[in-house]
A = this chain, B = another copy of it.
Amino acid sequence: MDEFSFINKYLKPLAVNFQGSLNLSDDAAVFSPPPGCELVITKDAITEGVHFLGSESPSLIAAKALRVNLSDLASMGATPLCYFMALVLPRTTSEQWLKKFAAGLGATQAEFSIALAGGDTTANDGKLSISITAIGTVPQGTALKRSGARTGDDIYVSGTLGDSAIGLELLTSSPSPFQGEGRGDGSNFINRYLTPQPRIELGIKLRTVANACMDISDGLAQDLSHICTASNVGATIYTDKLPTTNIQKALTGGDDYELLFTASPEKKSQIEELSKSLQLPLTRIGEITAGNNIKILDSSGTEIKLSKKGFKHF
């Protein structure tokens, strides 16, 4: 199947609901943000052997590529608008594979009300990589940033941490060959790795609640340090408060795609209500401190040191 057939047969149907895509028939997309809104733009690539194994079903790979980018939009409080995709395919890619891949994009698009706006497809002798540029909007001036944390803020995380890292371990250590879908014992953990859940709704609600926000993709310890650096503050984290079954993986595992945010203590009841209405745990795990140190305290109050802060890509 050549590039143009792939675009016509499988990609154009993904673009019909977004007028700015010009039906994928031009060199570029053309559009404006809605009045009073700014654009939020993120670009994450996922590549075989790093962010996915390559043996997953193509629809799961497509979904993950889109979901990790949507998670970046969620972390800024943005409402998803559209996305661009550049595919670098192994030359051996079959039409069957492409069809399933496009189906995975379609299902994820529908879930998050987003459409394809443009992109590029090419093939080489290397491994599969998928680069997505996701575009969202926020009312002018309301984007959540890493730099807004203030001394005395409570630190929260959504959902649970470390599950995805456990899932990856299950997938790669299993004696039986990986079958493409999580089944049997550990399937919850495996699904967390395969299909991250971008916290779009939470991000939108946090625009008026959080002082700083980001998504956790490289492990809590690593990502919290980004907020502290950007905000010029420190932090204290209590391991016995972490919503996890594995403290080490919560601190240093990757691929959680939960939101990490800080908020003034007076927002506590608002955050509790938000947690109820979204049916999503929002757990207070520590507080922002003066200075630049991040302290991680165990249940006895003893500071623990990490040998490995988080996942670094190269």
Indicate if the CB atoms of B129 and A88 lie closer than 8 Å: yes
* A2, A32, A93, A229: most-surrounded residue (chain B CB, <10 A): A32
| Cβ contacts under 8 Å, A38 to chain B | 30-32
* A38, A47, A121: most-surrounded residue (chain B CB, <10 A): A47
Indicate if the CB atoms of B30 and A84 lie closer than 8 Å: no
Asked if A41 lies at the interface with its beta carbon under 8 angstroms from chain B, I say yes
Other-chain residue from B25, B33, B43, B119 in contact with A119 (beta carbon distance below 8 A): B43
Asked if A114 lies at the interface with its beta carbon under 8 angstroms from chain B, I say no
- Give the complex CA separation of A28 and B75 in angstroms: 9
* A41, A76, A93, A215: most-surrounded residue (chain B CB, <10 A): A41
Interface string of A77-98 (1 = CB under 8 A from B): 0100000111111010100000
| Cβ contacts under 8 Å, A184 to chain B | none
Interface string of A216-237 (1 = CB under 8 A from B): 0000000000100110000000
Asked if A45 lies at the interface with its beta carbon under 8 angstroms from chain B, I say yes
- Residue in chain B with minimal CB distance to A44: B120
| Cβ contacts under 8 Å, A312 to chain B | 2-4
Asked if A108 lies at the interface with its beta carbon under 8 angstroms from chain B, I say no
**In A109-156, which residues have CB < 8 Å from any B CB?**
117-127, 129, 131, 133, 135-136, 138, 140, 143, 145-147
Asked if A73 lies at the interface with its beta carbon under 8 angstroms from chain B, I say yes
- Give the complex CA separation of A39 and B40 in angstroms: 13
Interface string of A38-56 (1 = CB under 8 A from B): 1111111111111100000
Indicate if the CB atoms of B126 and A126 lie closer than 8 Å: yes
Other-chain residue from B2, B86, B117, B226 in contact with A314 (beta carbon distance below 8 A): B2
| Cβ contacts under 8 Å, A183 to chain B | none
Asked if A72 lies at the interface with its beta carbon under 8 angstroms from chain B, I say yes
10 additional contacts (CB under 8 A) given A28-B73, A46-B122, A86-B86: A1-B314, A2-B312, A25-B146, A25-B226, A28-B42, A41-B133, A45-B131, A50-B123, A86-B131, A126-B127
